[in-house]
Structure 1
Amino acid sequence: MALGFDEPIRGVNLGNWLVLERWMTPGLFRVSSEADEIWMHRTMPPDELDRLLRRHRETYVTLDDFRAIAAHGCNLVRIPVPYFIFGDVPGHPGCVEFLDRAFDWANATGLKVLVDLHTVPGSQNGYDNGGLTGVCRWHRSPKAVGFALDVLTRLAARYRDNPALFGIEVLNEPVSWLVYRTASSTGAARDAAEARGSGHVPMRFLKAFYRESYRRLRGVLRPETVIMFHDGFRLGVWGDWFEREGMRNVMLDTHIYLVGLDAFCPVHTMWAYRAYVRWNERRIRRAARHTPVVVGEWSLANAMAGRAAGRVEPSERQSAEDRIYRDLAAMQRRTWDAGAGHIFWSYQLRRLRDGSGPRPGREPWSLSDAWRNGWLNVVQR
């Protein structure tokens, strides 16, 4: 592993900073009342949009946050970035200067950075985190595919010599047939004409894109820099493909959420979660025989905590939730270590009004809250 030190990945995502997700900070979308970032950009007056985004990016993540992340035992931040990061897409303000700052902060705090291309033109999954809800047409446009490859190459050239660079993740969550068919966002596009022709990202296309991405990135990056590939919600199908392609120093990213089980299983018990986690452990171990696997997104969100707390006296509800979150945190961290490590989603949701830090709460998607409430043990570095 090319982290620069011999230890598993202990990371956190800086979600909702450079790629916005309405559910994480709904107040940010209040002015536009749109469901996703692309439509926010399309409908807000340009000057007002630029001020809003700059204010958010200036205050949502700071050097103090990097210091806190390092102090709590993390060694890596995964930073989602949009395809318009360089500011060369009309109507979409760029944000590469903030990624530059993140690298400065990482070098100052001893953290490593995984740059994750989180969105592409026309979207690779139809999720709001892909920028454009209900649309998944990127893979059908050679021009859009070429643009994504160009962005990856430019990111590689910009940061290749930066000591904080751990790696570049080629594309976040290109969607499979099953996930696309069952996603609540499928068919929910604001503009039905724009969504026409949407569909899942076929495996044949995905392999071709990964092959070309690797060729371009490895030609720019240092040999020790990791190139990471999301499994496309198909962890079990990759086998020794990366080996057979002759790819060096690559990793496979898989995303595992307890709420993924909640969506299909009406039984919300510790036994069910334990079985689900163990099933995923077996999948990780099989895939890791050929390619190192990291759980690049996971959280403590689950349907059991609230229901269990509702069955006890009000004075005992918080402690009941705390026990469940602690047990699920320990179970997942222990299990995800079957691979190369794990990266929590996300560092925070809402921010204090003065921007001085994450807003305290009991949000299971927030690593800051997990630390504050004792759900996750702090490992001092």
Structure 2
Amino acid sequence: MNGFLQRAKAELKALTQRDAEVGASGFPGHAQWQHQPANQHHDSGPGHGQHIISDPAALDILRYRYHHGTNLGSVYVIERWLHPSRFPDGAEGSSELAAVQAWVDRIGIDATKQNFEEHWANSVSDEALRWLANVAKCTTVRLPIGYYDLPGPVFTRGTPFEPYAAVYTGAWYSIRTLIQRLRAHSIGVLIDLHALPGGGNAQEHSGTNSGRAELWTSDSNRALGVRCCRFIAEDSRAGAEIAGIQLVNEAEWESEHMYEWYDECIAAVSAVDPEIPIVISDGWNLDKAVDWALQKNSIYSHPQCPVVIDTHYYWAFTDEDKAKSPQQIIGEAGTKLAQLDGKEGSVIDRGAVQVIVGEYSCVLTEDSWAKSDGIPKEDLVRQFGQAQSNRFQQRAGGSFFWTWKMDWMPGGEWGFQAKTDDGSVVPPKYALMSGDHRRGMIEKARHERDGRLHEAMQQHVSYWSGVDPNGTYEHEKFEHGWQVGYQDAFAFFEGRGTPSDKIGMLEVWVLKRIRESGYRGGFTWLFEQGLRKGVRDFYVAAEI
């Protein structure tokens, strides 16, 4: 019987997915219709009562919408190739540490502190914020920072930055101010611990030019990294309201202790606030990261922060990619994230897996451009950027172009401003809707809500009566899930103080809702499938 039920469940999922694809054909006003708590007679398993599921709050939308955005690189973690002006003439090295050393040697601690604070304060103008929000349609910025940017000597003691700690005493205040300024434009911030003690990888963007990734081989470095994560979580809970915390950027391939360290960081942050999304680096092995995240994001595990995987896509560094034509690479871009195939759609059975693309660009090598077969480069760049944008919007929970700020603005194929302005990087189509169009879609979905609920329930009950006529099912859980899902999608699209959006981080959102429902075991899968069906039905009704 269990095998039969599993097959039947799979058939139901396929049926509801097909229904969404062909556009199967409800919603009173927000004040009139709220998520309904599960009735007390619902069987949720021993020790588990049902809970009231509240409407998505503004912070939920900030964290779980589709993250269309960019990196704000080389502001709090300097890279010389992006900002050569951050180095005095004759300075050696190319990292943050090299820059601060050179300036202190040249002008002293106090003047260097003033220099850096002026740079931070002037990196993002009010005009730039308006461009991000109104032209680029950014919802989120990925903000690389270093451990040395956190306040207090505890974060630099015993590290190469200890002699320069005074330079950074105002760094976290600057970061907090930027978070608030972005939030005023409805843009969230993913805090990315780009530079960790010892380095998560051997590159300059880990903060030094050591050429070594010593985070993984040092107990003290890893312990300091955990403290950094815990501090950010505590500060966020105190009011920073960030979109998430990325534990490390581009972790070295097969780093020793990497997943054990992730476990420590997740436990530390979860003890402070289990609602903050935690982003891990896939360490250039997305398959392994997917399998690990599915285990972490289980409804049966101790409640903890939802885990999201960060992967990066570049086609400009390997001999293999140099051998490809732009047209080949454009085609390849449309196939990425296939590692998710078959891993989504049932949190109950498998756990939740969610991926964001933390970095990508429109850069190819001259070897590739030489194989363009006479097609103008600007045309191929546009096709390349759009292929990536479209694919990531289909399969990821968000994507962040590398990068926005450099001395040589607007940045060419590395520049978010340049590639947004020329149409290479495009936001989701719904982000471009006029206010009138959006309000019309909301009213249409509101009007159709009851009819769509009736149709969904009729289809659902009819299906199970056909495949298992003697079975006993708690169909009210499917109905409850549908109501929650439809209202969730409605709330995200209506905005709740933010521009309209979709639930981009759908898999971890479903995980969150199942946990909040109080259901465990038994027919909890009916709640999940109802929730997913409600979300899809709203998008069909709203035509997005």
Note whether the superposition's TM-score is higher than 0.5. yes
Larger Rg: 2
The residue type equivalent to 2:378 in the other structure is D
1:25 equivalent in alignment to 2:87: no
Tell me: CA distance 1:60–1:33, structure 2 relative to 1, closer, same or farther (3 Å).
farther
Among candidates 122, 129, 132, match of residue 59 of structure 1? 122
- What's the TM-score, normalizing by structure 2? 0.58
TM superposition shift of 1:173: 1.2
Q: Secondary structure at the match of 2:78?
A: coil
**Aligned residues of 2:322 and 2:367 also touching (Cα < 8 A):** no
In 1, the alpha carbon distance for the partners of 2:100 and 2:343 equals 39
One of 230, 243, 247 as aligned partner of 2:281: 230
Cα deviation 1:280-326 (Å, max 9, x = unaligned): 331344666741101111111112598359986xxxxxx92321111
Distance 1:151 1:117 in 2: 9
The unaligned stretches of length 5 or more in structure 2 are: 1-55, 157-161, 346-351, 433-498, 500-544
Distance 1:164 1:157, change over 3 A: closer
**The structure with more helix, counted as a fraction of residues:** 2
- 1:333 CA displacement: 0.9
2:226 paired residue number: 149
Deviations 1:88-111 (A, max 9, x none): 222143210111111211221011
| Residue 330 of structure 1: aligned partner | 386
Tell whether 2:92 aligns with 1:8.
Answer: no
- In structure 2, relative to structure 1, the CA distance for the partners of 1:373 and 1:42 (3 Å cut) is same
Contact 2:72-2:404 at 8 Å conserved across structures = yes
Give RMSD over aligned pairs. 2.7
Letter in 2 for 1:293: V
Give the superposition deviation at 1:253: 0.7
Question: 1:55 offset after TM fit, Å?
Answer: 2.5
Q: Which has the higher contact order (CA 8 A, sep 6+)?
A: 2
Q: Give 2:486's aligned residue.
A: none
CA distance in 2, matches of 1:226, 1:216: 13
Amino acid at match of 1:33: E
Alignment of 1:199-348 (within 5 A): 201-202=255-256, 205-221=257-273, 223-245=274-296, 246=301, 247-260=304-317, 262-285=318-341, 290-303=352-365, 307-308=369-370, 320-337=376-393, 338-348=395-405
Structure 1: give runs of 5+ residues left out of the alignment. Answer: 178-200, 313-318, 352-358
Of 131, 150, 160, the match for 1:86: 150
In the alignment of these two chains, the number of paired residues is 340
Please report the TM-score for the alignment, with normalisation by the length of structure 1. 0.81
1:84-233 counterparts in 2 under 5 A? 84-87=148-151, 88=153, 89=156, 90=162, 91-92=164-165, 93-94=167-168, 95-133=171-209, 134-162=211-239, 164-177=241-254, 201-202=255-256, 205-221=257-273, 223-233=274-284
Q: Between 35-44 and 124-133, report the one with greater CA deviation.
A: 35-44
User: Does structure 1 retain, via aligned residues, the 8 Å contact 2:333–2:391?
Assistant: yes
Partner of 1:69: 132
Q: Which moved more, 1:301-310 or 1:327-336?
A: 301-310
* Counterpart Cα distance in 1 of 2:126 and 2:293: 36
After TM superposition, give the deviation of residue 86 of structure 1 in Å.
Answer: 2.3
Q: How far apart are the structure 1 equivalents of 2:64 and 2:279?
A: 18
Q: 1:328 to 1:150 in 2, by over 3 A?
A: same
- How far apart in 2 are the matches of 1:218 and 1:13? 26
Distance 2:261 2:145 in 1: 19
Distance 2:269 2:150 in 1: 18
1:47 aligns with 2:110: yes
Report how far residue 164 of structure 1 moved.
4.0
| 1:347–1:164 Cα change, 3 Å | farther
Give the % identical residues.
20
Are the aligned partners of 1:78 and 1:116 in contact in 2 as well (CA < 8 Å)? Answer: yes
Shift of 1:270: 2.8
Report the Cα distance in structure 2 between the residues aligned to 1:272 and 1:111, rounded to whole angstroms. Answer: 35
CA contact (8 A) 2:279 2:310 kept: yes
CA change 1:285–1:12 in 2 (3 A) is farther
Matched position secondary structure for 2:267: helix
Separation (CA, whole Å) in 2 of partners of 1:328 and 1:305: 16
1:185 aligned residue: none
